[in-house]
Chains A and B, each alone.
Chain A
Amino acid sequence: MSVLLFFGVFLSLSLGRYSNDPSKVLNVLLARFGANVNVDPTMESIVFNVRLPRILASVMIGAMLSLSGAVYQSVFRNPLVSPDLLGVSSGAAVGAAAAILLGAGLVTRQLFAFIGGMTAVLITSLVPRILRNRSNMMLVLSGIIVGGFLSSVLAIMKFVAEEQTELSSIVFWQMGSLSSILGRELLAILPVFLICSSLLLMLSWRINILAFGDLEARTLGVNVRQVRGIVIVCASLLTASAVSISGTIGWIGLVVPHLGRLIVGSDNTRTMPLAILIGSLFMLLIDTLARTVSSVEIPLSILTGFVGAPLYAFLLYKQKTRLD
């Protein structure tokens, strides 16, 4: 699978509007590692400044969304859950829309989206405390409440937005895209990716136990509140970081964990690493399609929906998931 990913990255590097010649790309890469070969300078610039950051971003975002999807499904004991269950995406959308309405630049927009996403999760996790019912179900309901409220907030923002410029920016953001990605944005989310993913992978076996439900986990001596807290914070940070630079991307966090479980079973010590790999590959494929299939950029959510929805139906059929 990792080999497949490397190969996929190289292939994707070779595809694009400027040139589709893999040998030129290979030369550029070899030159970077000190080999003495002929290099097309335009190609070099395109590979390192345009294609590579974008490809790395797609790989990372795919990994982040899929991993947090796998984790959310286990923690909430529900295979039909996606990483925006607790309102991350709606919060991020409100943040991004606010930045767009304020006329802020790209960096501010990403920052606002991140803050919006994390604030939404924070509010979601506070509601059960206020209502003095800390069950998992209350947290899920709270996510629905917060998400629903934020959708209305977003609707107001769209309503007051200037149609030609602001509104279309908001709509385009909501459909997700990596077309304007830069290297420094990658660097900004890299630490979050590394720290949160490693923490989650280290906790993967404990996450198995959380999937049995609170009662069983507690009889096994697991500090449920602590483990679940760490897990939700990490998964939410991953999702918020991903969404803040790419906009919302549907389906991937829902579908990829299923694919992983179909291949290696439900044990998260195996499913979670696999979800990272499949998610990267899946996102790489989607984003490569998004920038090469037509002369205009296709928003990512359109493609993930077209690929993800039928795939999900197929997986549900294969898994025969009990939906009673």
Chain B
Amino acid sequence: MPVQMRLEDIGFSYNGTRQIFSDISFEVNSGEIVCLLGPNGIGKTTLLTCMAKLREPNQGRILINGEDMNGLSTKDVARVIGYVPQTLMPSFDFTVLDYVVTGSAPWLGIFEKPKAEHYDRAEQALIQMEIDHLRDKAYTRISTGELQQVSIARAIAQQSRLILMDEPTAHLDHGNQIKVLRLVKNLAAEGYGIVLTTHNPDQVLLLEGLVAVIDRQAQFHFGDWQDILTEKLLSDLYGVEMRLIKVDGIERKVCVAPKL
């Protein structure tokens, strides 16, 4: 089932006086990857939480498949949108399977417990993420890279077709970062819509998708990465000189800083 999310002139303010961002409009569809770039503290995560209905924007509206999100319950939203937080903060040592099966929560009544079919779906998600060997391990005792995969597996078990990821590569070593990006790309190829925030502009070039930028002047840019990402924009964005260089042998551009 294809999914479409559309943001129309979204703005957010914590206290009503200082506007964090405003006039943000873009659209994400099934099969698309949107990378959200911006300097620290500009409101990337805040925007992502607005899109998951965890926070309410004070301007504009968000439409899911044409329906205003304000009119939908958290449960309805959770059936369409999965949210993968930057870090999980486990307090009890649930097993990976017990954790992933909670993805079925939006499909169950308040007094219901997951049945065999929901456990099957959770196991399928683990297989899809290639982490089914972790199923009986405590999710407090696996690596951060594995935890990220577990978290994405839950979004899949949730059957949400649009997955929002807050810095999915933040606490990962380089190898795991590339693995997670490949995963993201595979998910998009399977028809999931993905929105992720990142601090690394080179990841945008790796994913080759759409890019949304909130710059230092809180101006919003959106479009295909080739049209939006320029050396000037990136240099302004991060306040240091940035270069986009085509590298022979890997057939892609890379985004790097020059010699210090």
Return the CB mask of B65-106 against A: 1 if under 8 Å, else 0.
000000001111111011101001111111100110011011
Q: Find the residue from A77, A219, A227 having the highest chain B CB count within 10 A.
A: A219
- Interface status of B113 (Cβ within 8 A of chain A): yes
B110 is contacted by which of A206, A211, A213, A322 (Cβ under 8 Å)? A206
Do residues A208 and B94 form an inter-chain contact, with CB atoms below 8 A?
yes
CB distance from A309 to the nearest CB of B (A): 22
CB distance from B54 to the nearest CB of A (A): 6
Residue of A nearest to B102 (CB): A209
Within 8 A of B (CB), among A205-219: 205-206, 208-209, 211-213, 215-216, 218-219
Known contacts being A205-B114, A208-B94, A266-B94, is A221 close to B79, with CB within 8 Å? Answer: yes
CB distance from A216 to the nearest CB of B (A): 7
A265 is contacted by which of B52, B81, B88, B93 (Cβ under 8 Å)? B93
- Interface status of A157 (Cβ within 8 A of chain B): no
In the complex, what residues of A have CB within 8 A of residue B77's CB? 221
CB distance from B155 to the nearest CB of A (A): 9
A203 is contacted by which of B52, B105, B111 (Cβ under 8 Å)? B111
CB distance from B120 to the nearest CB of A (A): 17
Known contacts being A205-B114, A209-B105, A215-B85, is A223 close to B92, with CB within 8 Å? Answer: no
Residue of B nearest to A267 (CB): B98
Do residues A266 and B93 form an inter-chain contact, with CB atoms below 8 A?
yes
Residue of A nearest to B103 (CB): A220
In the complex, what residues of A have CB within 8 A of residue B111's CB? 202-203
- Interface status of A261 (Cβ within 8 A of chain B): yes
CB distance from A208 to the nearest CB of B (A): 7
- Interface status of A152 (Cβ within 8 A of chain B): no
- Interface status of A79 (Cβ within 8 A of chain B): yes
- Interface status of A222 (Cβ within 8 A of chain B): yes
- Interface status of A19 (Cβ within 8 A of chain B): no
In the complex, what residues of A have CB within 8 A of residue B140's CB? 322
A205 is contacted by which of B54, B74, B106, B113 (Cβ under 8 Å)? B113
B74 is contacted by which of A222, A261, A266 (Cβ under 8 Å)? A222
Do residues B78 and A219 form an inter-chain contact, with CB atoms below 8 A?
yes
In the complex, what residues of B have CB within 8 A of residue A222's CB? 74-75, 105
- Interface status of B158 (Cβ within 8 A of chain A): yes
B98 is contacted by which of A204, A208, A219, A221 (Cβ under 8 Å)? A208
Residue of A nearest to B112 (CB): A205
Count B interface residues, CB 8 Å.
34
Do residues B95 and A203 form an inter-chain contact, with CB atoms below 8 A?
no
- Interface status of A110 (Cβ within 8 A of chain B): no
Give Cα distance in the complex from A218 to B54, angstroms: 7
Give Cα distance in the complex from A222 to B76, angstroms: 10
Q: Find the residue from A220, A222, A261 having the highest chain B CB count within 10 A.
A: A220
Within 8 A of B (CB), among A58-113: 74, 77-79
CB distance from B47 to the nearest CB of A (A): 15
Within 8 A of A (CB), among B14-42: none
Do residues A220 and B105 form an inter-chain contact, with CB atoms below 8 A?
yes
Known contacts being A205-B113, A322-B140, is A211 close to B92, with CB within 8 Å? Answer: yes
Give Cα distance in the complex from A323 to B83, angstroms: 28
In the complex, what residues of B have CB within 8 A of residue A119's CB? none
Give Cα distance in the complex from A206 to B105, angstroms: 8
Within 8 A of B (CB), among A200-246: 202-206, 208-209, 211-213, 215-216, 218-223, 227
Do residues B102 and A208 form an inter-chain contact, with CB atoms below 8 A?
yes
- Interface status of A269 (Cβ within 8 A of chain B): yes
Give Cα distance in the complex from A222 to B98, angstroms: 17
In the complex, what residues of B have CB within 8 A of residue A202's CB? 111
Give Cα distance in the complex from A243 to B7, angstroms: 53
CB distance from B94 to the nearest CB of A (A): 5
Do residues B74 and A77 form an inter-chain contact, with CB atoms below 8 A?
no
A221 is contacted by which of B99, B106, B112 (Cβ under 8 Å)? B106
Q: Find the residue from B90, B91, B95, B106 having the highest chain A CB count within 10 A.
A: B91
Give Cα distance in the complex from A78 to B90, angstroms: 10
In the complex, what residues of B have CB within 8 A of residue A208's CB? 94, 98, 102
Residue of A nearest to B140 (CB): A322
Known contacts being A213-B89, A261-B92, A267-B94, is A219 close to B102, with CB within 8 Å? Answer: no
Residue of A nearest to B110 (CB): A206
Do residues B54 and A266 form an inter-chain contact, with CB atoms below 8 A?
no
In the complex, what residues of B have CB within 8 A of residue A213's CB? 89, 91
CB distance from A142 to the nearest CB of B (A): 20
Do residues B91 and A220 form an inter-chain contact, with CB atoms below 8 A?
no
Give Cα distance in the complex from A269 to B115, angstroms: 12
Q: Find the residue from A77, A213, A216 having the highest chain B CB count within 10 A.
A: A216
CB distance from A311 to the nearest CB of B (A): 19
Give Cα distance in the complex from A79 to B140, angstroms: 14
Give Cα distance in the complex from A220 to B176, angstroms: 26
In the complex, what residues of A have CB within 8 A of residue B99's CB? 212
Do residues A220 and B98 form an inter-chain contact, with CB atoms below 8 A?
no
In the complex, what residues of B have CB within 8 A of residue A206's CB? 105, 110
Known contacts being A215-B54, A266-B93, A267-B94, is A220 close to B102, with CB within 8 Å? Answer: yes
Which residues does A use to contact B, with CB under 8 Å?
74, 77-79, 202-206, 208-209, 211-213, 215-216, 218-223, 227, 261, 265-267, 269, 322
